[in-house]
């Protein structure tokens, strides 16, 4: 009878096989040429500049909220269509779904008109997109770079997992910035990545999200930020991918993308996007811009390589340096909300100053990342004990005639993805920053702080509608004599108030998993 191998022997064999698999995988050419390039001057004459000059005072900035998913996608497609010199695009995720192909086709059409297109994507989700990226990069007017890439190129989950473990300090830090800029005149930033679920185009699921369209002087700051990332050593050109150039492949991709675009825009979806597009009315003056001063706050790109960056150089330090702390009310929206001891201390200080604090985040049933919800769950009781009001967005809204689904409509299930806050009805942040340790200390983030009462009013109205008991659960404390403090959730369902002593819309298995996740010592990575 042969002797069965021991578990240790099997583990060593598996490790050896994994190392062999990794060794056989192709690698990135880190010596690939990366010529620096920069945004065109904001003073360069373009049709967009001329149109904006009619409705935007020189040297000032204008803003327009993009709460509706269709409007947010239409605006991006319109920027690509109106650009005559440059398009700069920077995203954490760029899916290869219908929306991704529609945006790629718009960028390709601009490149064929002679527009220089620069596309910078974080490398967290490009393993199965290498051929497509290399194909577009072969166009003479399109340049694509991957930020903080995996050096061994493989779609195999075990190979990528091994890399993530062996190079964890670097690969655990991702570029989460999101920006879309045309001719250094108009730019979009906010919470949305490029994919169906971000633009109300998914059949079963949507992210409730928020972007802002910016015009004028602030866009030059956004372009300067893009240039810093584009020319950073962590941005590796797509020509470094182990994929051969293919002119025939580019021709075929161009034909297929344009056919898809013509089909989509020629049907009902195209009509809906045309109706939703805010740009024609903004450029003609029918819809006025919200003209206001603003600050761009953005992490330095070296945050991914240097864990010891001074806090003052990070986005959270820049925000503190603006001196916009609330004196009356702080309205905070974050899908992944893990305040940590530092954030909790800040909230306690604000409460001692008499500031009302309202937080909208995801309910457990609505969250797409349960482990992050577990981090939030550990802080619920301390937050409530300190007088912070919590609201947890439901996965399915009731048809009460409210406006929540202006943030994302037409889907049976939704998850909050917007990242925004309003201080004292005067200062509005819109960007990529989640109120959690990952955004604060690991990933790079960006956002605009806009000093506008009107914009603050608009964002507040949207958020307060989402906080309604038909839309959100409101956890509260139950304090009984000789019993530990516990949670209870209140909401309204079909016009009737409900109280629940259990996490709403969850199964016993889900609640058991949450308790396990809450016990894990991983808060700093959330």
- Look at the block and give the residue holding tokens 């920077």: 90
Closest-CA residue to 144 (of 188, 90, 183, 98) = 90
Residue 219 Cα distances to 31, 253, 429, angstroms: 32, 32, 16
Q: Indicate the DSSP class of residue 250.
A: H
Closest-CA residue to 141 (of 161, 164, 100, 112) = 112
Residue 424 is among the residues annotated as catalytic for this protein: yes
CB 213 within 8 A of CB 287: no
Residue 49 is among the residues annotated as catalytic for this protein: no
CA distance 334 to 364: 14
Please tell me which residue in 55, 95, 176, 303 is annotated as part of the active site. Answer: 176
Exposure class string for 478-498: b at 16+ Cβ within 10 A, else e: eeeeeeeeebebebbeeeeee
Enter the tokens of residue 423. Answer: 């201080």
Enter the tokens of residue 110. Answer: 């601009």
Residue 481 is among the residues annotated as catalytic for this protein: no
On the 0-12 / 13-18 / 19+ scale of CB atoms within 10 A, 513 is: middle
Closest-CA residue to 226 (of 255, 264, 184) = 184
In three-state secondary structure terms, 459 is helix
Closest-CA residue to 317 (of 292, 335, 342, 294) = 342
Please tell me which residue in 125, 424, 425, 505 is annotated as part of the active site. Answer: 424
- Look at the block and give the residue holding tokens 């956890």: 475
Residue 245 is among the residues annotated as catalytic for this protein: no
CA distance 289 to 491: 37
Please tell me which residue in 299, 417, 436, 491 is annotated as part of the active site. Answer: 417
Please tell me which residue in 64, 373, 394, 419 is annotated as part of the active site. Answer: 419
CA distance 172 to 197: 24
Residue 277 is among the residues annotated as catalytic for this protein: no
CB 222 within 8 A of CB 214: yes
Please tell me which residue in 88, 183, 209, 436 is annotated as part of the active site. Answer: 183
CA distance 315 to 321: 10
**Cβ of 447: how many Cβ atoms within 10 Å?**
27
The H or E element containing residue 62 is strand 61-66
Residue 419 is among the residues annotated as catalytic for this protein: yes
Please tell me which residue in 178, 373, 394, 427 is annotated as part of the active site. Answer: 178
Q: Which distant-in-sequence residues (6+ apart) come within 8 Å of 334 by Cβ?
A: 359, 360, 361, 419, 421, 434, 435, 436
Query: Which residues does the annotation mark as catalytic?
Result: 176, 178, 183, 417, 419, 424
């Amino acid at each position: 009878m042969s002797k069965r191998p021991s578990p240790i022997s099997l583990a060593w064999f598996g490790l050896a096989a994994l190392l062999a698999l990794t060794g056989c995988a192709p690698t990135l050419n880190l010596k690939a040429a990366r010529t620096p390039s920069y945004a065109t001057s904001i003073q360069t004459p373009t049709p967009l500049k001329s149109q904006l000059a009619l409705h935007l005072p020189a040297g000032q900035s204008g803003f327009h909220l993009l709460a509706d998913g269709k409007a947010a996608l239409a605006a991006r497609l319109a920027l690509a269509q109106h650009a005559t010199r440059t398009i700069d695009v920077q995203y954490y995720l760029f899916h290869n779904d219908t929306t991704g192909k529609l945006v790629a086709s718009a960028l390709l059409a601009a490149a064929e008109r002679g527009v220089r297109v620069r596309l910078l994507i974080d490398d967290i989700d490009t393993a199965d997109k290498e051929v497509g990226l290399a194909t577009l990069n072969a166009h003479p007017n399109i340049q694509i770079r991957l930020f903080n890439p995996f050096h061994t190129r493989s779609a195999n989950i075990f190979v990528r997992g091994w890399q993530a473990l062996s190079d964890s300090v670097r690969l655990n830090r991702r570029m989460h910035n999101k920006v879309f800029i045309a001719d250094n005149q108009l730019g979009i930033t906010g919470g949305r990545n490029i994919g169906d679920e971000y633009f109300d185009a998914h059949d079963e699921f949507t992210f409730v999200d928020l972007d802002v369209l910016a015009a004028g002087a602030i866009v030059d700051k956004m372009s300067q930020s893009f240039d810093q990332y584009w020319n950073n050593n962590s941005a590796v050109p797509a020509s470094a991918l182990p994929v051969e150039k293919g002119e025939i492949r580019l021709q075929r991709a161009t034909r297929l993308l344009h056919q898809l675009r013509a089909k989509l825009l020629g049907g009902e979806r195209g009509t809906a996007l045309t109706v939703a597009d805010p740009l024609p009315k903004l450029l003609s003056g029918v819809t006025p811009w919200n003209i206001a001063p603003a600050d761009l706050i953005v992490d330095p790109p070296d945050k991914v390589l240097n864990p010891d960056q001074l806090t003052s150089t990070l986005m959270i330090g820049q925000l503190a340096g603006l001196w916009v702390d609330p004196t009356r009310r702080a309205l905070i929206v974050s899908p992944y909300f893990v305040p940590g001891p530092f954030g909790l201390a800040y909230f306690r200080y604000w409460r001692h100053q008499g500031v009302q604090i309202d937080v909208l985040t995801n309910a457990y049933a609505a969250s797409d990342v349960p482990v992050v919800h577990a981090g939030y769950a550990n802080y619920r009781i301390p937050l409530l004990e300190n007088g912070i009001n919590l609201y947890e967005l439901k996965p399915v809204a009731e048809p009460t005639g409210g406006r929540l689904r202006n943030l994302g409509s037409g889907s049976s299930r939704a998850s909050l993805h917007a990242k925004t806050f309003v201080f004292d009805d005067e200062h509005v942040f819109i960007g990529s920053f989640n109120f959690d340790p990952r955004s604060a200390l690991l990933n790079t983030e960006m956002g605009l702080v806009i000093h506008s009462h009107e914009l603050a009013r608009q964002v507040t109205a949207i958020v307060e509608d989402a906080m309604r008991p038909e839309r959100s659960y409101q956890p509260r404390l139950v304090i009984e004599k000789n019993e530990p403090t516990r949670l209870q959730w209140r909401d309204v369902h079909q016009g009737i108030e409900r109280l629940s002593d259990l996490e709403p819309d969850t199964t016993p298995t889900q609640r058991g998993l949450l308790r396990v996740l809450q016990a894990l010592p991983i808060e700093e990575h959330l």
